Structure 1
Amino acid sequence: MSNSSRNGLAVAGLSLGTALNPLNSSMIAVALVVLRADFGLDVATVTWVITAFYLTSAAGQPLMGRLADRFGPRRLFLSGMLLVAVTCALAPFAPNFALLCVARVFMALGTATAYPSAVVMVEALTRAAKVRSTRPLGRIQMANTSAAAVGPVVGGLLVSLVGWQALFLINVPLSLAAIFIVRRFAPDDAERERGSALELLRSSDIPGILAFVGAMMLVMMALLNVLPELRWWLLGGGAVLAALFVRRELRFSPPFLDLRLLGRNRPLLLVYLGFAVFNGVYYFAFFGLPQLLQEAGGYDPGIVGLLMLPLAAMSVVLTPFAVRAIDRFGVKRVLTTGVVLLVVASGMMWLLTASFAVPLVLALTALMGVPYGVVSIASSQGMYVSTQPQERGVAAGIFQTCRYLGAITATVLIGIFYGTGVNQANWGLMVFVMLGLGAVAFVVTLGWRERG
């Protein structure tokens, strides 16, 4: 088999593993009603099955990236997929809801290994196939972005045909397939850190890692308002841990996250900021629009899922064109074009204040899918070219965390705007916020320069 074919199959396996995190973060939403009935839960309690996965993924991605940088991406990817397979085979037999949430935590940890590991492996894959990094990154990013969009549709079918247990069981053959393909076709890890377990533990900056994970989880729990009576205590505790994390990282060598190096890398910081803001705009539509169509438009949830499908379809269709455009015109031009399209698509969403006609909704969700595909791959490539090879795992992990931060910000703001009612007037106000955030993303993008 030629190197090109082997690398193509390796990228397919990595893409499959990468898709599992966003897929599982979104398709569980359709099972909340069934889980409430089966376990006798209230609305606030059942949402922990989503929150547990969300928090673990956001906090765990940079950690998994660091492990990929240190000990090898192939090894980490295979370990993560094995954890997913075992966890998802056992989760349907959970005797209570608490253990089900624990299973979701282990799922999040396992799936969080995939994207950072895939990004680290891209260099070896492109070198072997003698292609530009945009091609494998584009396929990996396409899996990452489209899986979240199709999650509710896939989840709805599985729950209606089998039950909530199918949302876990479907991951077993998918993760095993990813293991087989990557183990068979992905290149072996290059020489990584070696030494006794004690030496590796001492050099792993465990206090820094714990402070980072703790700060992330406390701040996100405060933003998501998962414990309303403790919201300000969580935010304060997160701020304290963040300060301790900064102090630790500036003094320890080698740090978990080199803040001095990150501070000097202005292109990477701008990629992170722009990607977080972009996702804030996108998730306004992704989370806010289905609620509007159901409550104000009167559409059945199943119909709403179909109305949102053009978003995923357009992002998949546009990604190969975006990859070719990056190769021809460069990252910045494509990224800037994508952000301009984002602003245009956001402005067009105002039309929903006048009508919920099916053709209009389909056209608008398709239109929003265009910048989603373009900006996602361009931002991913911008992150890749803004980092050194030895930093790409943790850089990719933080990149994914920026996606979650944008989504959480959108969720909080949607809750504020819809607090007085899910109606067209409040949707119109949200469109203005989307336009404002789009303008911020545009300014940030103009300031980005590819590292020389």
Structure 2
Amino acid sequence: MSNPSRAGLAVAGLSLGTSLNPLNSSMIAVALVVLREDFRLDVATVTWVITAFYITSAAGQPLMGRLADRFGPRRLFMLGMALVAVTCALAPFSPNFVFVCIARALMALGTATAYPSAVVMVGALARQANSTSTRPLGRIQMANTSGAAVGPVVGGLLVSLVGWEALFLINVPLALAALFIVRRFAPADHAREQGSVATLLRDSDIPGILAFTGGMVLLLMGLLNALPGLRWGLLGGAMALAVLFAWRELSFGKPFLDLRLLGRNRPLLLVYLGFVLFSCVYYFAFFGLPQLLQEAAGYDPGVVGGLMLPLAAMSVVITPLAVRAIDRSGVRRVLIVGVVLLTVAAAALWLLTASFAVLLVLALTALMGVPYGSVSIASNQGLYLSAAPQDRGVAAGIFQTCRYVGAIGATVMIGIFYGDGVNQENWGRMVLVMLGLCAVTFVVALLWRERKAA
């Protein structure tokens, strides 16, 4: 088999593994009612099945990325897929809801290995296929988008035909397929760190990892108000752990996250900031629009799902076009054009303050898919170019965490704006906030420049 064919199959395996995280993030939503009935839960308790996955994914991605950098992305990817397969094979036999939440957290940890590992392997795969890095990154991005889009549809079918247990079981063959494809066709890991267990643990900056992970968990729980009445305590604890984390990383010889080096890497910091802002705008629409269409327009939930599909479909169509544009014109131009289109799409959403006509909604969701595809792949490529090769794993993990931070930020603000009612007037206020965020994102895109090799 030729090298390009092997590289293509390896990218397919990585894309399959990468899609499992967004797939499982979205398809669980349709199982909440069934889980409530089976385990006799209230609404607040059942949402922990989502919260556990969300928090573990956001906190675990940078750690998985660092492990990929240190011990090899292929090895870590296969270990993560094995964890997903085993966990999902056992989860349907959970005796109570606590075990379901634990299984969701372990699944999140396993799927969190995929994207950072894929980014670390992109360079080797691009050389093997004799292509640019934008091609494999584009395919991985399409897998992410497709996974999130088909999640509710797949989840609805599985729950209606089998039950909530099928949401776990479907992951077993998918994870095993990704594992075996990558094992067979991905290039072997280069020599990584070796030594005794004691030495490896000593050099792993365990206190720094614990401070980072604990701070992220407390921050996300506070933002999500996971423990009502303790929000400010959780946020205060997150701030304290952030200070301890910074002190540890600045004083330790081999830090988990080199804050000095990160601080000097302006392009990478701008990629992170821009992606947080972009994610916040995108999830304003992705989370806020379905609520508006259901509660203010009176559309059935199934119809709303169909009205949102053009967003994902257009994103999948645009991504390969954006890849070619990046190869011709560079990352920065595509990023700037994408942010301009994001601003246009956000402004067009104002039309929903006047009408909920089906054709209008379909046109607007399709329009929103254009900047999602273009800005996402440009940001992915900007990350790849801005991060040092030896740190691309942890850089990719932090990049994914930025997506979660933006999504959670949007969720919090949607709760504020919809607090006194889901209506067109409040939607108009949300559009104004989206436009303000777009303006800041545009400035960040203008400031970004490709990182010069040292």
Instruction: Give me the TM-score of the superposition, normalised by structure 2.
Output: 0.99
The 5 A counterparts of 1:105-184 are 105-184=105-184
In structure 1, distance between residues paired with 2:163 and 2:358: 29
In structure 1, distance between residues paired with 2:166 and 2:408: 27
Corresponding residue of 2:360: 360
Corresponding residue of 1:18: 18
Which residue identity does 1:205 align to in structure 2?
A: D
Q: Does 1:428 align with 2:428?
A: yes
In structure 2, distance between residues paired with 1:435 and 1:42: 37
Q: Does 1:95 align with 2:95?
A: yes
In structure 2, distance between residues paired with 1:277 and 1:38: 39
Stretches of 4+ moved more than 2 A in 1? Answer: none
Corresponding residue of 1:295: 295
Corresponding residue of 2:259: 259
1:316 shift after superposition:
0.5
1:388 shift after superposition:
1.3
1:409 shift after superposition:
0.2
* C-alpha distance after superposition, 1:387-436 (max 9, x if no partner): 11101000000000000000000000000011101111111111111111
- Between 1:26-35 and 1:330-339, the stretch displaced more is 26-35
Corresponding residue of 2:387: 387
Corresponding residue of 2:268: 268
Instruction: Give me the TM-score of the superposition, normalised by structure 1.
Output: 0.99
Other structure's SS at 1:229 match: coil
* C-alpha distance after superposition, 1:118-139 (max 9, x if no partner): 0000111112222110001111
Q: Does 1:60 align with 2:60?
A: yes
Corresponding residue of 1:281: 281
1:158 shift after superposition:
1.6
In structure 1, distance between residues paired with 2:252 and 2:145: 36
In structure 2, distance between residues paired with 1:297 and 1:450: 45
The 5 A counterparts of 1:194-213 are 194-213=194-213
* C-alpha distance after superposition, 1:212-268 (max 9, x if no partner): 000011011111111121111101110000000000000111100000000000000
* C-alpha distance after superposition, 1:177-227 (max 9, x if no partner): 101110110000000000011100000000000000000110111111111
Alpha carbons 1:276, 1:402 under 8 Å: kept: yes
In structure 2, distance between residues paired with 1:340 and 1:273: 17
- Between 1:77-86 and 1:155-164, the stretch displaced more is 155-164
* Cα RMSD (Å): 0.7
Other structure's SS at 1:228 match: coil
- Between 1:296-305 and 1:274-283, the stretch displaced more is 296-305
In structure 2, distance between residues paired with 1:162 and 1:298: 29
1:306 shift after superposition:
1.0
In structure 1, distance between residues paired with 2:158 and 2:343: 35
Alpha carbons 1:64, 1:112 under 8 Å: kept: yes
Alpha carbons 1:334, 1:374 under 8 Å: kept: yes
In structure 2, distance between residues paired with 1:19 and 1:365: 22
Which residue identity does 2:5 align to in structure 1?
A: S
Corresponding residue of 2:373: 373
Other structure's SS at 1:420 match: coil
Q: Percent identity?
A: 80
* C-alpha distance after superposition, 1:270-328 (max 9, x if no partner): 00000000000000010011111111111111111111111110111111000000000
In structure 2, distance between residues paired with 1:95 and 1:224: 27
In structure 2, distance between residues paired with 1:210 and 1:53: 18
In structure 2, distance between residues paired with 1:429 and 1:197: 55
In structure 1, distance between residues paired with 2:77 and 2:307: 34
1:146 shift after superposition:
2.8
Which residue identity does 2:197 align to in structure 1?
A: A
Which residue identity does 2:269 align to in structure 1?
A: L
1:149 shift after superposition:
2.5
Which residue identity does 2:364 align to in structure 1?
A: L
1:161 shift after superposition:
2.0
In structure 2, distance between residues paired with 1:337 and 1:146: 23
1:45 shift after superposition:
0.5
Corresponding residue of 2:243: 243
In structure 1, distance between residues paired with 2:75 and 2:234: 35
In structure 1, distance between residues paired with 2:384 and 2:317: 22
Which residue identity does 2:205 align to in structure 1?
A: D
Other structure's SS at 2:442 match: helix
Which residue identity does 2:382 align to in structure 1?
A: G
Which residue identity does 2:233 align to in structure 1?
A: W
Alpha carbons 1:145, 1:376 under 8 Å: kept: no
Alpha carbons 1:142, 1:377 under 8 Å: kept: no
- Between 1:137-146 and 1:247-256, the stretch displaced more is 137-146
Which residue identity does 1:310 align to in structure 2?
A: P
1:32 shift after superposition:
0.8
Which residue identity does 1:158 align to in structure 2?
A: L
Question: For this pair of structures, how many residues does the alignment match?
Answer: 452
Structure 2 residue runs without a partner (length 5+): none
Which residue identity does 2:385 align to in structure 1?
A: V
* C-alpha distance after superposition, 1:93-126 (max 9, x if no partner): 1111111000000000000000000000011111
In structure 2, distance between residues paired with 1:276 and 1:395: 14
Which residue identity does 2:412 align to in structure 1?
A: V
Other structure's SS at 2:345 match: helix
Alpha carbons 1:250, 1:259 under 8 Å: kept: yes
In structure 2, distance between residues paired with 1:367 and 1:162: 36
Other structure's SS at 1:226 match: coil
In structure 2, distance between residues paired with 1:395 and 1:438: 24
Structure 1 residue runs without a partner (length 5+): none
Other structure's SS at 1:356 match: coil
* C-alpha distance after superposition, 1:161-190 (max 9, x if no partner): 221111111111110110111011000000
Alpha carbons 1:153, 1:306 under 8 Å: kept: no
Which residue identity does 1:440 align to in structure 2?
A: V
In structure 2, distance between residues paired with 1:368 and 1:185: 36
In structure 2, distance between residues paired with 1:215 and 1:254: 20
